[in-house]
Structure 1
Amino acid sequence: MFLLSQILKRLVRQGQLTVHDADGKEHFYKGSKPGPKLKIRIHSKKAARKIAIYPKLFLGEAYMEGDLTLEEGSIYDLLDLFTRNIGWGSRNLLVNFGDFAYRFYWFFNQFNPKSRSLKNVAHHYDLSDEFYGLFLDENRQYSCAYFKSPDDSLEQAQLQKMAHIAAKLALKPGQKVLDIGCGWGGMARFLAENADVAVTGVTLSKNQLAYAQEKAKQTGLAAKVDYRLTDYRDVADKFNRIVSVGMFEHVGVPYYGEYFRKVKSILTDDGVALIHTIGTADRPSPTNAWIQKYIFPGGYIPPLSQVMPAIEKAGLYVTDIEILRLHYAETLRAWRTRFHEKIDTVREIYDDRFCRMWDFYLSASEVSFRNSGLVVFQIQLAKRLDDLPLTRDYITEIEEKELGAARVAAE
């Protein structure tokens, strides 16, 4: 406990934390600024040592395994306290002790050939369909929503996200659209229904594919939406528009050049692409070790400084960039609230350990968007400079039209 205590003494500058160790001793840490007030218990000396050595991995593991429990407050509160005190952009060696060894492992894990991509996707997305249905919106949008108001429901915010993206694509009736990483197919169905376009959606998840195909039949869109179990690298057709929402995080840094070259090669000469991806305002750094191991193997969140060179080398024009700041934090809060409302059902599907793992994941993700510099990039690309309007007014105009059509269809 000695090493962990020294770290916490330096770390807690706002809020206060009481720790009961495995010997029953109480350790109290109080910052000079107000903040969350929490009490935790660490049930073994081994867990305390591991957390001190590498908290980015072992804090989450300790919570999952029940070696760390909250006596006052929640795991969200604890992670909020830690991330508030660390702050984004921090390179505190005590907090990041263990990163040096992890960087070597992470470097090699970024190589993401097709076989590994398939395995990585299955790890996260081929969980029970019933499970995802418990906390996602009715269209199963598993990505950042677009909150025009803090009072927006999750369903409304996700509908606004799809309309916002559709507007940036500047779609025309009869065009062919590719959705890279189409998930459960909600975006493809939205575009096909509201913009009169033919959409091909590609995914590496068998569960998502089956759901998307069945949903297209149920909604009468099977003739306009074609879902395929295909790696984006194997797509050979040409498309007027390409959209990718929440997939770029799984590409891997060594494959950025290949990704954007592929986008360019399958876009028609008048084509437009919209890439929606989590990004960071911080400098490049390895994926969080716990997230890498338990949630998104092979995943990575880049700064713009890593993405832009690959786009430039591919020969694509960046025609618009929008940074969505707290939208994902609000999305994750909505998911976390719904998850807790249905946690008894989750426990029936899986077990207590799984519940703690997902509680940690949703909580850690939300506080990262609130306190640690995570954002969402929407990057619009084109092959030519003159294929989009000169001002951004068209985005709002089309967006309102798309939302109006979607509301009428829902009624």
Structure 2
Amino acid sequence: MSILKTALKTIFQRSFKEPIKIIFWDGDSIQFNGEEPKYVVTFNKSISEELLSEDPTLALAEAYMDGDIDIQGDIKDLIISLYSTKDSFIKVKSGILAGLVSKRNNKKDSIENAQYHYDIGNDFYSLWLDESMMYSCAYFKSDEDNLKVAQENKIDYILKKLWIKPGQKLLDIGCGWGELIIKAAKSYGAKSYGITLSEEQYKTINKKIKKENLENQVFVKLMDYRDLKNETFDRVLSIGMLEHVGEGNLPDYFKKVYELLVDGGISLVHSITMPNDGANNIFLNKYIFPGGYVPGVKQIITEIAERGFNLLDVESLRRHYGKTLEMWYENFKSNLYTIRQTKDERFIRMWTLFLQGCAGSFYSGNIDLHQVLFSKGINDNIPWTREYIYN
């Protein structure tokens, strides 16, 4: 057996407890953990020994993207299985990640990183997001909720947590396609402000504002949140934005939020988190979210405490994000014919791996999603219990 085949055998044998079959490029095969395989991994050609030794996760991910590997079986479940095994290759620290990721995203990096991902095109995202174009974890009140309902639930849930009142100024940092700031204005009477680095999102939001006749109540700017000066808000939030800040910029983010809030003002962070220390992911950083960094939940709490905020509420929505990603992937699959009109097979495999891999990562508990609520100074105007969030 060749050195490469021996290395692959060792990697897969250590990484799986469930039945799996490996078929090599020369027709040889090997099977572990039972007679009926749950997964079959077929190598259509050999892969780089050097990259495999430096970073097995990236080597195998790229091989899948390039069609050098085919997988029979549910990729989401495969990822769950990998994270459940102590010696899995997916837990090996990347040997090349440090050279790929900057700990501090400067303003130029932030613009390029945001546009790389979010300006792929509204036509692409509209095929698998719901009608609101909410590209973050939804909130399911029951198994029967569809994606549209769950995303509407999420917006209301966040606005209720913020205890937003008519006439108050609300700022959404990284406002996506603007659904929350429009809802805050229409249903809660807020004066809503949003900022984004994505030109596609900026154009779409302005169209929505005009369509809803909200030009005097909803405002959006194409800018970096760090450039916002000489203005304060009653409420400041970010949804799925903190992951793009970068490890070294976390203190700066919370410092800026403190500066932007009025005394007694309330802020909410809705962010993917790690259960312990923060981390980067080699595949996501290289292909999906350049400059991304998933903070540890304890990092967020520490930053809030050290900045002088008062912590009000912390909630995990891990299962909700797993379900959201499953629904996105089902929409993605059902629109593959249309996607193939403009995207090649490598792109489709990359996004398949992203959507299913992330779903598996949430369900396995490797990553989490937390909503963290905090105030600048004491705020005794919010209700005594959490019941106000659910009524």
TM-score by length of 2: 0.93
Q: Post-superposition shift, 1:4?
A: 1.2
The structure 1 segments of at least 4 consecutive aligned residues displaced by more than 4 Å after TM superposition are: 93-98
Q: Which moved more, 1:241-250 or 1:219-228?
A: 219-228
Which position in structure 1 is the counterpart of 2:354?
361
Q: Post-superposition shift, 1:103?
A: 4.9
Q: Post-superposition shift, 1:258?
A: 1.1
Q: How many pairs align?
A: 385
Aligned partners of 1:145, 1:220: CA distance in 2, in Å?
A: 27
Aligned partners of 2:367, 2:91: CA distance in 1, in Å?
A: 18
- Ranges in structure 1 where 5+ consecutive residues have no aligned partner: 398-411
Judged with a 3 Å threshold, the aligned counterparts in structure 2 of structure 1 residues 25 and 111 are, in CA distance, closer, same or farther, namely same
Alignment of 1:167-206 (within 5 A): 167-206=160-199
| Aligned-partner SS, 2:47 | helix
- Identity, in percent, stands at 36
Aligned partners of 1:268, 1:181: CA distance in 2, in Å?
A: 20
Q: Post-superposition shift, 1:6?
A: 1.1
Judged with a 3 Å threshold, the aligned counterparts in structure 2 of structure 1 residues 95 and 324 are, in CA distance, closer, same or farther, namely closer
- 1:149-186 Cα offsets, whole Å, 9 max, x none, are 11110001000000000001101111111000001001
Which position in structure 2 is the counterpart of 1:211?
204
- Ranges in structure 2 where 5+ consecutive residues have no aligned partner: none
Counterpart pick for 2:268 among 264, 267, 274: 274
- 1:191-249 Cα offsets, whole Å, 9 max, x none, are 11110111110000001100111122122223211111011111121111111111011
Which position in structure 2 is the counterpart of 1:230?
223
Q: Post-superposition shift, 1:23?
A: 1.2
Aligned partners of 1:52, 1:255: CA distance in 2, in Å?
A: 32
- 1:267-319 Cα offsets, whole Å, 9 max, x none, are 111211111111122x3253110111000011111222211221122111111
Counterpart pick for 1:28 among 23, 26, 31: 31
Q: Post-superposition shift, 1:48?
A: 6.7
Counterpart pick for 2:147 among 138, 151, 154: 154
Q: Cα RMSD between the aligned structures? A: 1.9
- 1:114-141 Cα offsets, whole Å, 9 max, x none, are 1100011011000111000001111111
TM-score by length of 1: 0.89
Which position in structure 1 is the counterpart of 2:22?
19
Which position in structure 1 is the counterpart of 2:377?
384
Judged with a 3 Å threshold, the aligned counterparts in structure 2 of structure 1 residues 250 and 158 are, in CA distance, closer, same or farther, namely same
Contact 1:42 1:48 (C-alpha < 8 Å) held by counterparts:
no
Aligned partners of 2:122, 2:201: CA distance in 1, in Å?
A: 8
Q: Post-superposition shift, 1:360?
A: 0.7
Counterpart pick for 1:135 among 118, 123, 128: 128
- 1:319-375 Cα offsets, whole Å, 9 max, x none, are 111111200000000000000000111111211111111111001100000014322
Alignment of 1:299-310 (within 5 A): 299-310=292-303
Contact 2:202 2:221 (C-alpha < 8 Å) held by counterparts:
yes
| Aligned-partner SS, 2:151 | helix
Which position in structure 1 is the counterpart of 2:69?
68
Aligned partners of 2:80, 2:339: CA distance in 1, in Å?
A: 24
Which position in structure 2 is the counterpart of 1:402?
none
Q: Post-superposition shift, 1:52?
A: 5.7
Aligned partners of 1:170, 1:94: CA distance in 2, in Å?
A: 45
| Aligned-partner SS, 2:341 | helix
